[in-house]
A and B are shown apart, each in its own frame.
Chain A
Amino acid sequence: MSDSAADPVVSISSLTVLYGKQRALNDVTALFPPGAVGLLGPNGAGKSTLLKTLLGFIKPAAGAMKVLGLDVATSPAEIRARLGYMPEIDAHIPGMNAVSFVAYCGQLAGLPPVDAMQRSHEVLYYVGLGEARYRNVETYSTGMKQRIKLAQALVHDPDLLFLDEPTNGMDPKGREEMLELIRDLAHNKGMNLILSSHLLPDVEFTCDHVIVLHHAIVATQGPIDELKGPRGSVFEFRIKGDRAAFSRLLAEAGLSVHAGEEDVMRVFVPDDRGAHALFSLAARHGVQVRHLRPSLPSLEDVFAQAVGEE
C-alpha cells in the first residue's frame, strides 16, 4: 500500500511520450488516488501507452512519474515487484499448463517455489479457472485467457494492479464475472487498481475515480460521483423535425448535447434552469417536443462532455 491512505498511488507530472513524431501522451498531469481508478478514453487516446510508460516499457520524452511513492525512472524493478500487470493483448508463457504458468510468474516476482505453487492454485480458483488449471494455456478460450492474465497479475499479491482492457473478447456472462472480480478486489480486498478501458459501463461499475484521456491529454479527472454530481441536470429529449439544426441551437444556448439511443438526445443543462430551458428554446424556434424525461447523469455524460462528443 502507499505510505498513507491519502497519498496517490500514481502521480504523473507533465508526461510526454513520443512515437516518432507522433505525441502519444502530451504533457499529461494526473493523480491516481488509492482504490479503483478508471482510465477511460477512446481507442488511441493513450491509455495503454500510459500504463506501459508507468511500467518502464517506454521511455518518456519528458515528465516525471511516481508509482507507490517510487520514481519510475530510478526504481523500476522495485515498482514492478509491487505491481501486477494484466496486458491488453493475449499473452502467456508458451508450453505450460495454467498452474505452472501462474506459479512461474509468482517465482519471477520473488515468491519461493512452494509458496508460488500454493498461491497459483488459490488465485486460479479465485479467478474461476480451478477446474481447468492443469490444461495447457494455449488451449484456453479467449475468456479463459483473460482470466489467467488476471491470475498471473495477482499471484504475488501486488499493492497495485494495472488492468488493460480486461473484458476484451469476453462473452456477456464472462464479462460480468470479470467485472465482479475486479470490483471485489478493489472494494473488498483493499487492492488499488487502475482499469484502462474504452467501455464506460465497465469503469462505472468497478471504479470510484476516473481519468479521461482524449487525444493524448487528460480531458477530465475526479471522483465519478462528483463528476456526475449536481452541477446540472440531464434530460432525454426527442423532437419532431431537424435534429441537427436544433442540436446547434442547444449548443449555442450553452447546453451540451450528445446522441442517445435511436433519435433520443441526451441534453445536459449545466445550471438550475432545468427543463424550462429546453421548452422555452423549443417554443421560440417552433420545434415540437415529442419526449422529455429527466435522467440521471451517467459517466457517459461526463465522458461526452469531456471529449466534446456530439
Chain B
Amino acid sequence: MPIHDQSYRRYGGDRAPEGRAWTVITAAGIRTMLAKRKFLGLLLVAWLPFIVRAVQMYIAANFPQAAMLAPTPETFRQFLEQQGIFTFFITIFTGAGLIASDLRANALQIYLSKPLGRFEYIAGKFGVLAFFLLLVTWVPATMLLVIQIVFAGNLAFLKANLFLLPAILVATGIETVVLCMVMLALSSLSKSARFVGIMYAGMMFFTHALYGVVFVVTRNTTFSWMSLQGNLQHLGDLVFRVESRYDTPAWATVLALAVIVGASAYVLERRVRGVEVVT
C-alpha cells in the first residue's frame, strides 16, 4: 500500500494570532540549550559567586564581628563585574550558533516562509541569549538584594539604597541588549558557530587591547569608548554611583554603545533575509 493512502487530514483547530512566533523561537532555543550538559554545568558554575555572596550576607547579618562584610552598593556592582566572565562564555556558548547554524542549514527560508517577519525572527533569537544572560546577572543580583533583606530582617539597607533595584535592572539590561545585538550580528556573518565565537572573543579582546595601547601612550582613560568592555564597565560604574575607573564623559560612552547597537542592527538587517542575492 502506498504510504500516502494513510491519508492527510485538513486542520480545523485554533491558530495563534500573528506576532507570537518569536516566543516559539525563544522557547525552542532555551530548551535546546538546557538539553546540553556542558551548558548546564556552565550555568551552575555561574551561580557559585551568588552562593558566596549569600553566605557573606548571612555572616554579616548574624555575626557582629564580621560587620566589615556587610553589603554596600559597591558589593552589587562588584558582583555584576565578577559575572562578566560568565556572561562572556554564555554569550559565546549560546549566541554563536543562533543565526550561524540557521545559515548553514538554510533554515532562514523555512523560518521566513512562515507568518513571521525578520524582526520577529531576530527577536526570537535575541530572547534566547537575553534569557541566559539575565539568568546569570539580573536574577542573582536581584535575589541577593532579597536575601540581604531576609537575613537582615529589615528593609533598612533597601530603603537607604533604593536606587539599587533600578540600577541592577538598567545595568544588566543595557549589557544584555548590547551583547545580544553584537553577538547576533556576528552570528549572521558566518555559517560557522566556531568562527563566530572566535570573532566575538577577538572583538572583545582587540578593542580592549587597543584602548590599553592608547592608554599606555597617552596615560589618559578618556579613550575607554574604544573598548566594548570599557564602555560597559564605565556605564555600570555610573549607574551604580561608584567612582568610575575611566574619565570618559558619560555621553561618549552612551554614544559608543548606541553606535555599536545601531551597527549591529544594520548588519542584521542586511544579513537576515529569505534569499541571498548576489549581484
The chain A residues found within 8 Å of chain B, CB to CB, are 19-20, 22, 52, 55-58, 76-78, 80-81, 83-85, 87, 89-95, 104-105, 107-112, 115, 119, 122-123, 125-128, 130, 138, 152-154, 156-157, 177, 180-181, 184-185, 189
CA distance A57 to B117 in the complex (A): 10
B97-141 vs A, CB cutoff 8 Å, 1 = contact: the mask equals: 100011011110111111111000000000000000000000000
Contact B117 A104 (CB under 8 A): no
CA distance A181 to B13 in the complex (A): 24
Which residue of A56, A95, A125 contacts B3 across the interface (Cβ within 8 Å)? A125
Residues of the A chain whose Cβ atoms lie less than 8 Å from the Cβ of B107: 91-94
The chain B residues found within 8 Å of chain A, CB to CB, are 2-4, 6-11, 13-18, 20-21, 24-25, 28, 32, 97, 101-102, 104-107, 109-117, 273-275, 277-279
Contact A112 B109 (CB under 8 A): no
Q: Known contacts being A91-B106, A92-B105, A94-B101, is A189 close to B2, with CB within 8 Å?
A: no
Task: With A81-B15, A89-B106 given, name 18 new contacts (CB 8 A).
Answer: A20-B279, A57-B112, A77-B18, A78-B18, A80-B114, A81-B115, A91-B110, A93-B102, A93-B111, A94-B97, A108-B114, A108-B115, A110-B115, A126-B3, A127-B3, A152-B110, A154-B8, A156-B15
Residues of the B chain whose Cβ atoms lie less than 8 Å from the Cβ of A110: 15-18, 20-21, 115
Q: How would you classify the secondary structure of chain B's contact residues: helix, strand, loop or mixed?
A: loop
Q: Known contacts being A19-B279, A104-B24, is A90 close to B106, with CB within 8 Å?
A: yes
Contact B274 A52 (CB under 8 A): yes
Contact A87 B11 (CB under 8 A): no
Contact A107 B110 (CB under 8 A): no
CA distance A110 to B279 in the complex (A): 35
Residues of the B chain whose Cβ atoms lie less than 8 Å from the Cβ of A19: 277-279
Residues of the B chain whose Cβ atoms lie less than 8 Å from the Cβ of A76: 117
CA distance A128 to B279 in the complex (A): 39
Residues of the A chain whose Cβ atoms lie less than 8 Å from the Cβ of B25: 108
Contact B116 A115 (CB under 8 A): no
Residues of the A chain whose Cβ atoms lie less than 8 Å from the Cβ of B117: 76-77
Contact A91 B24 (CB under 8 A): no
Nearest Cβ in chain B — how far from A183, in angstroms? 9
Which residue of B8, B110, B112, B115 contacts A122 across the interface (Cβ within 8 Å)? B8
Contact B104 A94 (CB under 8 A): yes
Nearest Cβ in chain B — how far from A163, in angstroms? 12
When C-beta atoms are compared, the residue in chain B nearest to A112 turns out to be B14
Residues of the B chain whose Cβ atoms lie less than 8 Å from the Cβ of A122: 8-9
CA distance A305 to B133 in the complex (A): 62
17 intermolecular pairs with C-beta atoms under 8 Å apart: A52-B274, A56-B274, A76-B117, A80-B114, A80-B116, A81-B18, A85-B113, A93-B110, A94-B97, A95-B101, A104-B24, A107-B24, A122-B8, A127-B3, A156-B11, A180-B2, A181-B4
Nearest Cβ in chain A — how far from B276, in angstroms? 10
Residues of the A chain whose Cβ atoms lie less than 8 Å from the Cβ of B104: 94
Nearest Cβ in chain B — how far from A80, in angstroms? 5
Contact B13 A112 (CB under 8 A): yes
Contact B2 A91 (CB under 8 A): no
Contact A105 B11 (CB under 8 A): no
Nearest Cβ in chain A — how far from B108, in angstroms? 8
Residues of the A chain whose Cβ atoms lie less than 8 Å from the Cβ of B116: 77, 80, 108
CA distance A189 to B254 in the complex (A): 58
When C-beta atoms are compared, the residue in chain A nearest to B101 turns out to be A94
When C-beta atoms are compared, the residue in chain A nearest to B109 turns out to be A87
CA distance A177 to B2 in the complex (A): 8
CA distance A124 to B105 in the complex (A): 20
Contact A111 B115 (CB under 8 A): no
When C-beta atoms are compared, the residue in chain A nearest to B273 turns out to be A57
Contact A94 B275 (CB under 8 A): no
Contact A109 B115 (CB under 8 A): yes
Which residue of A22, A56, A93, A108 contacts B105 across the interface (Cβ within 8 Å)? A93
Contact A80 B110 (CB under 8 A): no
When C-beta atoms are compared, the residue in chain A nearest to B107 turns out to be A93
Contact A83 B11 (CB under 8 A): no
Residues of the B chain whose Cβ atoms lie less than 8 Å from the Cβ of A56: 274
